[in-house]
Amino acid sequence: MGATRAHYFRLLYALLCLAIYANVWGQGWQGKGFPLFLLSGMIGIALGDFCTFQSLRFISPRLAVLVVQCLCVPFAALIEWVWLGTALTTSQITGSGVILLGTTLSLLPGIHLPGVMRSILLGGALTTCGSLFQAIGAVITRRANEINLADSLILDGMSAAYQRICGAVILMSIIYGLIRMTSSKQPTQESKTSLQQWRRAIPWIVANGTAGMVLGVASFQWALMKTPAAIVLSIVALTPLVVIPIAWLLDRERPKLLSMIGSIIAVGGVLILTMAH
C-alpha cells in the first residue's frame, strides 16, 4: 500500500478505537493541556512516523530503527533539560547509555548499507528528522501533563493517547491529501491499490494500529506522566529486541551471537534504570 497510506489508515483506525474509549469511559478532550497534546501528536506521531516510514525507501529497516531509537534519547534529554529543566542523574544516563549500546550491538548484524551514497544520505536525513520530531513530541507531552496536574487533572493514558492521535490525524489528513492530489496527476504504483490488495492489507493495518497506536501510545502516555522523556525513550529503544524472537519464530531468522549479547547488555541497562529509580 505504500508507507504514507499505511501510516494514515492505521491512524484513522486508532482514532476510532481511542475515540470510543475516551468519550464513553475516559476523559475525552478534557484538560488545559489539550492543545499541547494535539501539537505533540502532530509533531511526534504524524511527522515523526512519516519521516521514519519514508526512510525505509532508502535504507534498511534495521538501520532506520537504530538511528531513530538511539537519536531520540539525546534529543529528548537536551530539549527537556532546556525547556523543562529536567536533569538526568548519573545512574539514569548510565542506564540509558547501556540500553542504546546493547540495542546497537543487537541490530548491527542485520544492517546492510545500500551501495548508493544518495540513498544513505536521504535515509539518514529522514531518520534524523524522525527521531527529532518524536523527541519533541515526547517532551511536549510531558509539558501537557504538567499543565493538567497544575489544574488538578490526571489524564489517563488512553485519553491522552486519543488527544495526541487527534492532532496526528489532522496533520496527516493534510499531508495525505496533498500527496493524493500529486499522485492523481502522476499515478504511481502506490496510488494504484486494488481491492484485493486492500483486503490483504487491512488485517495488518488493524494489527499494527491496535498494538502500536492504541495500546503502545497509551502505555507511552502513562509512562510520560511521571518519568523523564529521555528515560522513557531509552526503554522504548528496546522495541527492536522484541522483534528478534518473533522473527525467529515466524520467519526462521536465527539471531546472531552479537544480537543475543547486545540484548543481554540492553536488559542490563533497564536493570540499572530500575535500581536508580
Residues 219-231 pLDDT 10s? 999 998 888 888 8
For residue 241, give the C-alpha cell.
Answer: 529486541
| Per-residue pLDDT, 77 | 85
What pLDDT does 263 receive? Answer: 77
Which pLDDT belongs to residue 268? 82
pTM of the model: 0.82
CA 220, CA 222: separation in Å to the nearest integer?
6
Report residue 116's pLDDT band, with 50, 70 and 90 as the boundaries: low
Whether residue 72 contacts residue 237, with contact meaning beta carbons closer than 8 Å, is answered with: yes
Angle subtended by helix axes 257-276 and 239-251, to nearest 10: 140
Instruction: Kindly state the percentage of the chain with pLDDT values over 70.
Output: 90
pLDDT at 251: 65
Q: What is the amino acid identity at position 109?
A: P
> Is 126 or 185 the better-scoring residue by pLDDT?
126
Residue 242: its H or E element: helix 239-251
Q: What is the pLDDT of residue 215?
A: 92
Average of per-residue pLDDT across 233-252: 75
Q: What is the pLDDT of residue 191?
A: 53
CA distance 131 to 114: 21
pLDDT over threshold 80, residue 147: yes
CA atoms within 13 A on the CB side of 28: 4
Residue 117: which pLDDT band, with cuts at 50, 70 and 90?
low
CA distance 56 to 63: 9
Contacts (Cβ under 8 Å, ≥6 apart) of 21: 158, 159, 162
| Cell numbers describing residue 248 | 525467529
Quote the mean pLDDT of the chain. Answer: 84
- Indicate whether 33 pLDDT > 80: yes
pLDDT confidence of residue 15? 95
Render pLDDT for 249-264 as a digit per residue (tens, 0 to 9).
Answer: 776 767 777 777 877 8
DSSP state of 62: H
pLDDT tens, 153-206? 988 989 999 999 999 999 999 999 988 888 766 655 555 667 888 888 889 899
Residues 59-87 have pLDDT tens digits of: 777 777 777 877 888 888 888 888 888 87
Task: Answer for the pair 244, 263: CB distance below 8 angstroms, yes or no.
Answer: yes
* Residue scoring higher pLDDT (251 or 21): 21
Is the Cβ–Cβ distance between 17 and 214 less than 8 Å? yes
d(CA 157, CA 177): 30
The answer, yes or no, to whether residue 114 has pLDDT greater than 60, is no
Closest C-alpha among 45, 34, 40, 38 to residue 8: 45
The label of the residue with cell 531513530 reads 68
The whole-number average pLDDT for the span 126-150 is: 92
